[in-house]
Structure 1
Amino acid sequence: MHIVLLCGGSGKRLWPLSNEIRSKLFLEVLPAPGGGYECMLSRVLRQLESAGLLNSTLLVTHSDQAALASAYAGNRAAVLAEPHKRGTFTATVLAALALEEREEPEDGLMCVVPADTYADDRFWQLLGQLPKVLETSGADIALLGTEPTQVSSQFGYIVPEARENERAADYKKVARFAEKPSPEEAARLINEGALWNCGVFVFRRRSLGEYIQRAGLPLHAQELLEQYEKLPVRSFDQEVVERSRQIAVVRYAGEWQDLGSWSALTAKLAEPVTGKGLISGSSPNSHIVNELPFPLHIINVPDIIAAASRDGILIAAKEEANRIKDLLGQEQQDMLFRSACPPPRPGNVETSHLFLRPGQNLTLGAGRTGSCWWLILKGAGTAGSAEGGSRPFAPGQVLRSEVHPFQLSALQDTELLEIRFSPEL
């Protein structure tokens, strides 16, 4: 069975930390085992590895985030890039066609899972049992549904058949679905044993054929990619699940949450302050998540989130923080933070914007540890060491100190970025 992790998201509900380039999956704010921090994607990959499923995992993500996803996955899982976001159905079809072109068995199983799933280890272990449920039940699709912990209108509900079967402890047949019902309807569904829809689907890859043809999509990955921009956004639930004749659902009783809001995310943080800042006075349930080098302070203000990054600053009551998605609108936002690899741990890197006048020098003395890089933005001069001699530099060049002492000497007004890497910082 191949696990297909759908790494979508527009990055607006957790603005300013998340954006189109770095979605919530890559925010390294969750407490990691043994100390430190990890992001949602790191947590999921770690749990898949523990369940023995990581080697057969394929990440599907937008091309803007493919490099970042690849950096986290390393050589443990493959990454497939979408040129545009066209919904869970199109992403799943792309994954199925890509697997087929790798000569995977046509009747092989696919398990589609949202990459932003926050659950305990048993959730991921249950994925390994779904192929057996699919075979035993004779269903077209097997789902994983989680027991609701509260009445909510934010999730879709899976309504199992009331009739028990001989293997009721393993699965139930699905009677129908209810998408984001009213609070009153949600309460009634929960009393009847309905489950939250986790977005987890297991099916035989060859069964997608009729749905691909109905949607008028090509049967080759490259042809699909060439049409991507013009395709409509399609949901896997609507295109496949709701049209399937036989569906089985496995009940999961354990932690499962959507960390797509500041209220949900901050509830999982180890401390009320992440980054520079201080909360004082009577400020219960307030949190600071700060990526800037400048401190934030909250004094006598309860239930707020103060979040800051290079993209902006958000100060909001937690119950109202989701309104930022509407305020940002549908227009693409200017992004000041872009990354193609996991960010370095705080304390290991320092970036400085420097200016040198003609005749001024920038020197790294002997005995320094770590390394230093310079990106020349403007100006001219020489750079080098006593052992290796000096060489001229010009705008656009990147210089790196291989030995110490090392010196830059400006012949003109020079502007540069200095990036220092050191365990001592």
Structure 2
Amino acid sequence: MVKLVLLSGGSGKRLWPMSNDVRSKQFLRILPRPNGEGLESMLQRVWRQIGQAGLAANDVFVCASKPQVEVIHAQIGEIDVIEEPARRDTFAAIALSTLYLVDEQGMDPDEPVVVCPVDHFVDDHYFQEIQNLGPILLREGAEMALMGVWPTEPTSKFGYIVPEAPADGDCFRVKRFVEKPERAVAEELIRQGALWNCGVFCFQPRTIVRILRDRGLPSTYAEARRGFDQFPKRSFDYEVVEKLSSIVAHPYRGTWSDLGTWSSLAEQMESEAVGRAILSQCEDTHVVNELGLPVVALGLKRAIVVATPDGILAADKDMAAGLKDVVAPLDNRPMYEERRWGRYRVIDYQLLDDETEVLTKCVELLPGRNLSYHRHKWREEIWTIIEGEGEIVVDDRWQKVAAGDIVRAPQGVWHAIRTETGMQFIEVQRGRGLVEEDIERKYLTWEELAAVLPGIPR
């Protein structure tokens, strides 16, 4: 059984205002689930497809930056996450993941591992094809096996894998790579049997370890974590793949898209509207609304309208491809986040005349979850329970809470909250320097807290 590493990319603004530094495109719950069972994210779709393809959960790993770990666990459960110390492109991420598998998981250095992006929209059989890469790599005696997509059009959006000769069987030997060519060049490459490069790599870990040692880079997992900044901040293709002499490629025929623009993402939406929205006399127009207020679109053609706590976008679908550059100057804190305990949405922010900051959030705590026992140095918090019931501990004192109750946690005082059935509350933060880093945690789980504080029911 092949080991699979899913690369969870960094932040991005191509799908602003839904995507940001924490909420990358793979976490956006906007795709229809099978049989009309609601919406799912690209991460959840990929995880479901992996299970259907017969890959065991303990053979699948996700490599991600620290800010993404919480939302990954919230969406697909307690999977093994290889945490990047910093964002340094795919070469560093794949090197770290390979060393983790060998040193921490005891993987045989001769056993093939497959690495692929987590944010591609593909057919279910894509992950069946991925499992063929290991046997192909060993059979062909190659240093690297790639999976490429049969092109559906000559485009300059993607790189191309060019064969030495047309595929004979299930793979071909790779002659060279061409990065995002002009249309006329792309047409000629397709005639030669070239494939789109979709960023799927299969190799034996010993190949990567050898390259790291030859280049004087960290070659154990412990060294890689301590010296992560020693890895060049460049792609795996550039640092490794293009420098190898023996590479094969396996063709994949089927749906493939990175859904990197609002136009491509809208094509996969089951409905023209997500959230509270009315569309009248519109053509090829989609609305995504995460706010409580209604959004009305009247007489729009080929447009995308997106309303979230982070901002509002109204754009022509074709022009939305250049959105990243337009919103580049924006550097606001994320106004919506998913965590393993639930989610929150920022409702309001004010800076008072005396320099006091006031931030108001709506927090949803999932059944059986809790916020850690923690305190803040620079702010107080006031919780107003609006739905559900649960229990709180403030300054070592326990009590039950329900809708209508108000709880105050003064600056520097330990506090925690838990619900068995689910809960929503309004959190008002008041202080100076309202940042997520202003938190000191004492106990992460309710069981830890109940074990040391008398009077808390277990």
Match of 1:60 in 2: 63
Q: Using a 3 Å threshold, how does the CA distance of structure 1 residues 89 and 385 change in structure 2: closer, same or farther? A: closer
1:289-324 C-alpha deviation (Å, 9 max, x unpaired): 111111111111111111111111111111111322
CA contact (8 A) 2:122 2:254 kept: yes
Match of 2:49 among 47, 50, 62: 47
2:193 paired with 1:193? yes
Match of 1:242 in 2: 242
The AA in structure 2 aligned to 1:301 is L
The secondary structure found in structure 2 opposite 1:3 is: strand
CA distance in 1, matches of 2:199, 2:288: 29
CA distance in 2, matches of 1:244, 1:314: 44
Match of 2:204 in 1: 204
CA contact (8 A) 1:29 1:274 kept: yes
CA distance in 2, matches of 1:18, 1:112: 23
Q: What's the CA shift for 1:329?
A: 2.3
Match of 2:454 in 1: none
CA contact (8 A) 1:374 1:416 kept: no
Q: Using a 3 Å threshold, how does the CA distance of structure 1 residues 330 and 224 change in structure 2: closer, same or farther? A: farther
Q: What does residue range 3-402 of structure 1 map to in structure 2 within 5 Å?
A: 3-34=4-35, 35-53=37-55, 54-75=57-78, 77-102=79-104, 103-162=106-165, 168-229=168-229, 231-281=231-281, 283-329=282-328, 332-341=331-340, 351=362, 370-371=388-389, 394-395=409-410, 397=415
The secondary structure found in structure 1 opposite 2:228 is: helix
Q: List gaps (5 residues or longer) in structure 1.
A: 354-361, 377-381, 404-413, 418-425
CA distance in 2, matches of 1:318, 1:391: 45
Q: Using a 3 Å threshold, how does the CA distance of structure 1 residues 333 and 352 change in structure 2: closer, same or farther? A: closer
Q: What's the CA shift for 1:55?
A: 2.8
TM-score by length of 1: 0.81
Q: What's the CA shift for 1:13?
A: 0.4
TM-score by length of 2: 0.75
The AA in structure 1 aligned to 2:218 is P
Q: What's the CA shift for 1:223?
A: 2.4
The AA in structure 2 aligned to 1:295 is P
Q: Using a 3 Å threshold, how does the CA distance of structure 1 residues 400 and 303 change in structure 2: closer, same or farther? A: same
Which one scores higher on RCO, CA 8 angstroms, separation ≥ 6? 1
CA distance in 2, matches of 1:294, 1:200: 42
CA contact (8 A) 2:113 2:134 kept: no
Q: List gaps (5 residues or longer) in structure 2.
A: 345-360, 365-383, 430-458
The secondary structure found in structure 2 opposite 1:307 is: strand
The count of corresponding residues between Structure 1 and Structure 2 is 379
The secondary structure found in structure 2 opposite 1:121 is: coil
CA distance in 2, matches of 1:11, 1:136: 39
Q: Using a 3 Å threshold, how does the CA distance of structure 1 residues 129 and 290 change in structure 2: closer, same or farther? A: same
CA distance in 2, matches of 1:307, 1:115: 23
Stretches of 4+ moved more than 4 A in 1? 342-345, 350-353, 372-376, 382-386, 390-394, 396-403, 414-417
Select the structure of larger CA radius of gyration: 1
User: Please, what is the CA RMSD of the aligned residues?
Assistant: 3.2
CA distance in 2, matches of 1:94, 1:416: 40
Match of 1:408 in 2: none
1:151-181 C-alpha deviation (Å, 9 max, x unpaired): 21110101112266xxx22111111111100
Q: Taking every aligned residue pair, what percent have the same amino acid on both sides?
A: 38
